[in-house]
Structure 1
């Protein structure tokens, strides 16, 4: 599941431009700040590489695995074993 925080997103389109699988498209609707947000139109093509999360300067994107964990959740699990 891909989540985009509409409060944080400023519509820079870096997620659209950086996604190698062309998951994102620009929305035709404005949010309350007048920004056309990206949306995951082709979410089934996402391979959970998290590149969009890394490219987002506002940390507005969260890509969760099928188990509901985001990238940072897995990092914490790894560190718990130490």
Structure 2
């Protein structure tokens, strides 16, 4: 099973809640801002994502989808 985190960078305000919530530490904050000058979350480690969806559940902007394949 492989899981992917899809983050809508236009919606993300960089609250870092998803980063703090991720039990496998697969998310981080981007080095470059989005169009609204927020630093969005990014999935930096695809291999360790378990598809738990904690990041999506905790995102206040509903900017995250988790796809499990």
Q: Which TM-score applies when normalising by structure 1?
A: 0.76
* Pairing partner for 1:63 from 63, 66, 69: 66
Structure of higher CA gyration radius: 1
After superposition, residues 66-77 of structure 1 pair within 5 angstroms as 66=69
Question: Unpaired runs of 5+ in structure 1?
Answer: 67-82
Alignment root-mean-square deviation, CA: 0.8
Q: Which gives a bigger RCO, structure 1 or 2 (Cα 8 Å, sep 6+)?
A: 2
Q: Which TM-score applies when normalising by structure 2?
A: 0.90
Question: Moved runs in structure 1, 4+ residues, more than 2 A?
Answer: none
Question: Unpaired runs of 5+ in structure 2?
Answer: none
